[in-house]
Amino acid sequence: MKQNPPSRLDNLLRPDVLAAFDRAFFEREGYWVWKGVLTDEGRAQWSASLQKLQALNDSVVRHSDWGAVDYQSRGISDPDPEKITNEFLAACTGGSEQMKFMPPELREYMYQQGIFDPALATDGFDWQGIFPEYFPLAYDDFILDIATVHPQMMALFAKVLGPRFLIDHVLMLNRTPGSRGRRWHGHPYRQGQHEIEDPIDGGATPIADYLHQQCVRTLCYPEGMGLHDGGGELAVVPGAHLYRVPYRWSTARPDYDDTFEAGWLKGKVHAFSGEPLRIEKLSLPPGSMVSFGHHMPHHVGHRDDTAETRWGLLMAYRTPDPTAAPARWNEGTPPHWAERMENAGALTPAMRRIFEGDLAP
């Protein structure tokens, strides 16, 4: 009999919350809140994993000699010397989206090639060529399990995407005190090659058949998320997913609520109800997740300077693209990591199904 992974927490999700999913609501409104879906054990392990991963990420940032990395041979520009001082690096830790010291090309190189350099300080852990923030499942067996094969998580993703889905990206989103969040924006399916609307003014006509070429973001907040725990709340626009426009996905994102309401949102109505579209700010109790269409405009508010760090994980999965070129691994999978995993015999067939190409050879 095949044994479950040692990291497997069988009692991860509450079955009653999974069973309460309303497909009709999700298709009509574009989002679904899995209220309190994590068990107490699930909450504890999820938080512990995110905190451990953040500590690993911070260690590499602070203790590496970034000025000694060989960037030129990799076709990467050198970092700004003022941004790799001890003082600046210290400000790049503690949470997600803080690493402003990085040259623009470094993140993509980490995904595609992996950066292995003696200047990196990994304090004895098994460095995978990419920061834990950008690919946390490579550094934590619990996150690897829930992101690839855990039966309850796979059932959750199947409810919003159908039986076949691929990883798009999995990122840590740990919001630090004073985090400025993200202003109104959306995201395209894959690299945007199928999008036909203007990223700022487009999306004039709602489309009910929005499940074709779909990506769904699922955010997990083991300690909760909302207006009353320090700000930084997530806001969505129910029904806006039906306009199929990845708002400002390829441009600057300057819009707060008032600008967004006076601009793109003005005059738009819900395709099912006919009511004007409106912003909804979510407030979720501990152990909750929320799933919503990748291209629906959304916003993350400012976090108070006195708030505690909010722990969060973003798990984005998408339907396969029948027009994609055959490839061994999909775009959300660092190929160097997948090759090492496969060569080590650590990539099970079920896991490979999440990482393989849209049209796997």
Tens digits of per-residue pLDDT, 85-115? 999 999 999 999 999 999 989 999 999 999 9
On whether residue 58 sits in a domain, the answer given is: no
Does the pTM exceed 0.85? yes
On whether residue 282 sits in a domain, the answer given is: yes
pLDDT in the model for residue 199 = 75
Query: What does the pLDDT average to over 294-300?
Result: 93
Residue 25 lies in domain? 15-38+135-355
Query: How many domains, the chain?
Result: 1
- Per cent of the chain over pLDDT 70 is 97
Beta strands in the chain (DSSP E): 31-34, 166-172, 182-185, 215-221, 234-236, 280-281, 288-293, 298-300, 313-318
Q: How confident is the model at residue 1 (pLDDT cuts 50, 70, 90)?
A: very low
On whether residue 97 sits in a domain, the answer given is: no
Q: How confident is the model at residue 130 (pLDDT cuts 50, 70, 90)?
A: very high
CATH number of the structural domain spanning residue 248? 2.60.120
Given a cut of 90, whether residue 216 has pLDDT beyond it is: yes
On whether residue 5 sits in a domain, the answer given is: no
Given a cut of 90, whether residue 243 has pLDDT beyond it is: no
Three-state DSSP state, 202: coil
Query: Which string of b and e fits 77-106 if b means at least 16 CB within 10 Å?
Result: eebeeebbeeebbeebbbbbbbbebbbeeb
pLDDT in the model for residue 329 = 97
User: CB count, 10 Å around CB of 18?
Assistant: 15
More confident of the two residues 359 and 35: 35
pLDDT in the model for residue 208 = 64
**What are the tens digits of pLDDT across the range 131-140?**
999 999 999 9
**What are the tens digits of pLDDT across the range 249-265?**
888 898 999 999 999 99
On whether residue 308 sits in a domain, the answer given is: yes
More confident of the two residues 340 and 360: 340
